[in-house]
Amino acid sequence: MIVLQHWATIIGCSSDVLPTSYLGLPLGCPRNSLALWKPIIDKLSLRLAGWKGKCLSLAGRITLAKSVLNNLPVYFLSLFQLPSKVADILNSAIAKFIWGPEKTRPIQWVKWESICRPKSSGGVEIVDLKVKNRSLLNKWVVRFGSEQNQLWHRVIVDKYGLDRTSLLPTGYNNTRSSWLWKNIACPLENQSNLLTQNLRLELGDGNRINFWEDFWTEVPSLKDAFPRMFSVAVKKCGKVVEFGCKADGVWSWNIELRRPLFTWEREVWDCFRSTLDRATKGLCSSDALVWKADVSGVYNPKSFCLIASSQGANTERVWNLIWQNIAPPKVEAFLWRAILGRIPTLSELAKRGVSVQNSGMCVLCSTEVESVSHLFCHCVFAWKVWQRWCNYWNISLPMPENLNLFEASWDAQVLKPSSKPVWRMAFYELVFGLNVVGQIRVFQSLSSYDFQICVVWLL
Ligand SMILES: [Zn+2]
């Protein structure tokens, strides 16, 4: 080591040991190791320090978590695939921060998949780092077709013997790939993932699309969808332009067959030709890669994250009613939880193993079990509050089944446009106020008289 340092000094360099970092990236770490991801884990932990969460409401913690996620160093995430264990550590740290960093194991009232959903689907749009990582890695796949003159493109093409003109880096030998490139290009190995399902090769001049293998028609590949036609065709590979020609915007096909078709094969042939004809309706002058999930047709990580987080979720109008910037963020966030049924009512706390007072009976009326629907809709005290407000407006509302339906019927009232914001805001404030009164009653043991005063104050 001393000799090494001596030699380094002679040529004006310094010496170091692996693992180290070079141009901001870790060098010499074992692949997929925790050491590789330590800088990201440390940065996230530092920014989500417990004291910050203690000073903030749920809405504030959600905003801070989003800000921290947006400012993570993306060069890490856009090159290396996040190992599952590291993604779980990071996602878990964010979830803990959102649901109360002051405790070691806070109750996570809404499951992780749900808070990652778009607001229109009942979530709050927290980004899952696995999804963000995939969305950034996908950029290399998509950029392959448009950066033919870049050094990285030439290196990948030469190293893996890829087709230089192809729009996508398909057809490489997986076993020879580096772990880094294998992780980047793995979605191309099957057609059932979000990237390949939303990418479409649009036919222009046919010089950059493989006729049999690529997914340029409505089927993933002609070779797999029409194996009989593939077996009788003379040419088994080549670009689209080698199977037909385009004149005045119309394609005429010239597909040579080894033998005349049998009668029963004619029907398959007709279907095959119809599939080809339907794929030539585009107006592109040259072959192009189109990202279907965005109106611009250009891939962007944000739209990938959006479709990934929307999978399996239903868009409901009630969620759009909540996030309208009418009420303060903490009130909107509370209403979101209340409509999901995920607020600490006595029945919800009991379900999660927390010991509750008064056998879980409502703190306002003490006659029924305290659930979300009871606390905000069916409770005799709550209903008095709602009725008194409606009486001011000469509006009669039937008692709703639950808070979700209540919100919808509240919003459906026909009012003057100038009165609508006040009417809408009242819903937020009364729901939030009823919860506050309930908490005061629990923690300060109000007498019946004081409690009546609270209800009057609410109005
Ligand atoms: Zn009650």
One-character DSSP codes across 193-249:
SHHHHHEEEEPSSSSSSBTTTS--SSSS-HHHH-HHHHHHBS--S-BGGGSEEEETT
Same domain? 65 vs 13: no
Q: Is residue 379 part of a domain?
A: yes
Nearest to 124 by CA among 30, 57, 40: 57
Centre of ligand 1 to C-alpha 440, Å, is 14
Centre of ligand 1 to C-alpha 47, Å, is 41
pTM of the model: 0.82
Question: What gap in Å lies between CA 400 and CA 324, rounded to an integer?
Answer: 22
For residue 65 the two structure tokens come to 């978590």
> In whole angstroms, what separates CA 248 from the centre of its chain?
43
Centre of ligand 1 to C-alpha 338, Å, is 16
CA angle centred on 389, ends 385 and 392, rounded to 5°: 145
Centre of ligand 1 to C-alpha 446, Å, is 15
pLDDT at 459: 53
Centre of ligand 1 to C-alpha 404, Å, is 18
Centre of ligand 1 to C-alpha 359, Å, is 13
Confidence at 456, pLDDT banded by 50, 70, 90: low
Report the pLDDT averaged over residues 152-165.
90
The residues, ordered by sequence, that sit 6+ positions from 93 with a Cβ below 8 Å of its Cβ are 41, 44, 45, 48
pLDDT at 15: 82
Alpha helices in 296-419 (DSSP H): 301-310, 317-322, 329-340, 346-351, 372-373, 380-392, 403-411
327 contacts 59 by C-beta, under 8 angstroms: no
pLDDT higher at 419 or 143: 143
pLDDT at 23: 66
170 contacts 195 by C-beta, under 8 angstroms: no
- If one counts every other C-beta atom within 10 angstroms of the C-beta of residue 199, the result is 21
Same domain? 123 vs 220: no
DSSP assignment letter at 93: H
Count the domains in the chain: 4
Same domain? 410 vs 430: yes
* Of 37-51, 103-117, 207-221, 403-417, the least confident: 37-51
Centre of ligand 1 to C-alpha 385, Å, is 12
> In whole angstroms, what separates CA 140 from the centre of its chain?
19
Same domain? 15 vs 37: no
Same domain? 282 vs 361: no
Same domain? 23 vs 75: no
Centre of ligand 1 to C-alpha 231, Å, is 73
Centre of ligand 1 to C-alpha 326, Å, is 28
* Residue 265 structural domain: 204-286
Element (H, E) at 25: strand 25-27
Centre of ligand 1 to C-alpha 368, Å, is 6
Centre of ligand 1 to C-alpha 328, Å, is 26
Phi and psi at 458, nearest 5°, equal -60, -30
pLDDT at 453: 55
Question: What gap in Å lies between CA 10 and CA 8, rounded to an integer?
Answer: 5
Q: Is residue 185 part of a domain?
A: no
Same domain? 212 vs 96: no
- Alpha carbons within 13 angstroms on the beta-carbon side of residue 209 total 27
* Of 205-209, 302-306, 454-458, the least confident: 454-458
Last residue of a domain, one of 72, 93, 127: 127
Same domain? 17 vs 33: no
Element (H, E) at 291: strand 288-291
Centre of ligand 1 to C-alpha 38, Å, is 50
Q: Is residue 150 part of a domain?
A: no
Q: Is residue 216 part of a domain?
A: yes
For residue 274 the two structure tokens come to 């119809």
Same domain? 107 vs 118: yes
The residues, ordered by sequence, that sit 6+ positions from 209 with a Cβ below 8 Å of its Cβ are 167, 201, 203, 216, 239, 240, 287
Centre of ligand 1 to C-alpha 124, Å, is 30
Q: Is residue 331 part of a domain?
A: yes
Q: Is residue 174 part of a domain?
A: no
Centre of ligand 1 to C-alpha 398, Å, is 17
Measured between its terminal Cα atoms, the distance across the chain in Å is 78
26 contacts 39 by C-beta, under 8 angstroms: yes
Same domain? 353 vs 445: yes
Confidence at 457, pLDDT banded by 50, 70, 90: low
- Cis peptide bond prior to 400, omega within 30° of 0: no
Same domain? 442 vs 322: yes
Q: Is residue 341 part of a domain?
A: yes
Nearest to 165 by CA among 113, 206, 117, 225: 206
Q: pLDDT per residue over 241-255, tens digit each?
A: 999 888 887 888 888
Same domain? 241 vs 350: no
Report the range out of 146-160, 164-178, 248-262 with the highest average pLDDT.
146-160
Centre of ligand 1 to C-alpha 115, Å, is 29
Element (H, E) at 289: strand 288-291
Residue 450 has pLDDT above 80, yes or no: no
Tracing tokens 């950034």 back to the chain, one arrives at 136
DSSP assignment letter at 179: H
- If one counts every other C-beta atom within 10 angstroms of the C-beta of residue 160, the result is 17
Report the pLDDT averaged over residues 442-458.
55
pLDDT at 24: 66
Centre of ligand 1 to C-alpha 401, Å, is 15
DSSP assignment letter at 186: G
pLDDT higher at 336 or 355: 336
pLDDT higher at 11 or 457: 11
Last residue of a domain, one of 127, 142, 165: 127
Q: Is residue 182 part of a domain?
A: no
Radius of gyration of the chain (CA): 30
